[in-house]
Amino acid sequence: MQADLRPDAPTKVRRTIKYESERVKGFGREVMAVPGCDQLVRCIQCGTCSGTCPLSVYMDHSPRQIMALVRADFKDEVLRSNSIWLCASCYACTVECPREIRITDIMYALKQRAIKERLYPKRFPIPVLAREFTNMVRTKGRITETLLVMRLFMKANLGAVLSSWRQGIGLLRTGRFVLRQERIEHRAELAAMLATTDNHAEPAPKHNQEAA
């Protein structure tokens, strides 16, 4: 952006650095309290994670910056960044980190948080895929990839259907295009299992009923 230096130019300026008061105090500590994320406190900002990450070149904040931002309570910057969604879980950073910080797991904790608080770029296909994936697993018990991808295209990126027609034909030709939904036998059982984690606080509504 070029500064407008005319004498009658509007005096609008934009601050590029945050004041301390704008941070969300406690965010870093909350993330570090997630099992597996506690080692973040030991980060020395060496940048090995950013160096090993095959996707850091596309990220708005490199993994090293994400680690620093989390620790310094920059919640919005972290949860709205594309970095956490670009992490492909290759675990290169986790294996290489000299401080044994489980960076991939921290990225997962941040993804969970961003989904919970709905803080991700709209129509960004990666969280949409995650949501469609979990829906299919919860109701069917298994994933049928071709059906999942079609749902993703419909929800996030209709244009992709058109640009992928050759691939679709290839899948048909090689017998890999599966239209029959795979499902498990005990679907209700699985759904009930997953539901038990919904009510952490009061695991005993039964007793209430009995009492009533």
Partner 1 sequence: MIYSYFPGCSLKGLGRAYEESLLPVMRHLGVELVELEDWNCCGATAYMSVDESKACVLAARNLAIAEKAGAHDLVTPCSACYLVLNKTKHQLHDSEQMRSTVQRALATAGLTYGGNTPVRHPLDVLVHDVGLDVVKEKVVRPLKGLKVAPYYGCQVVRPYATFDDAWNPTTMDRLLTTLGAEVVDYPLKTKCCGASLTGTLPEAGLRLSYILLKEAIRRGADVIATICPLCQFNLDAYHDKLAKRWGPVRIPTVYITQLMGLAFGIPAKELGLNRCFVPMKPLPAEPAPAPA
Q: What angle do CA 29, 108, 122 make, to 5 degrees?
A: 105
- With both helix axes pointing from N to C terminus, report the angle between 125-140 and 103-116 in degrees, rounded to the nearest 10: 80
User: Are the C-beta atoms of residues 180 and 144 closer than 8 Å to each other?
Assistant: yes
User: At its nearest, how many Å lie between partner 1 and the CB of residue 133?
Assistant: 4
Distance CA 148, CA 154 (A): 10
Please report whether residue 51 would count as binding partner 1 according to CB under 8 A: no
Helix (H, G, I), strand (E, B) or coil at 106: helix
Please report whether residue 205 would count as binding partner 1 according to CB under 8 A: no
Please report whether residue 80 would count as binding partner 1 according to CB under 8 A: no
Question: For the chain, percent helix, then strand, then coil, each to nearest 5?
Answer: 55, 0, 45
User: At its nearest, how many Å lie between partner 1 and the CB of residue 61?
Assistant: 15
Please report whether residue 185 would count as binding partner 1 according to CB under 8 A: yes
Among 80, 129, 151, 155, the residue binding partner 1 under the rule CB under 8 A is 129
Total number of residues shown for the chain: 212
User: Are the C-beta atoms of residues 99 and 107 closer than 8 Å to each other?
Assistant: no
Among 78, 92, 101, 106, the residue binding partner 1 under the rule CB under 8 A is 92
The contact set with partner 1 (CB under 8 A) reads 34-36, 54-55, 58, 86, 88-92, 94-95, 104, 108-109, 111-112, 115, 125-127, 129-131, 133-134, 137, 141-146, 149, 152, 156, 160, 163, 166-167, 170-171, 174-176, 178, 182, 184-186, 189-190, 192-194, 196-197, 200, 203
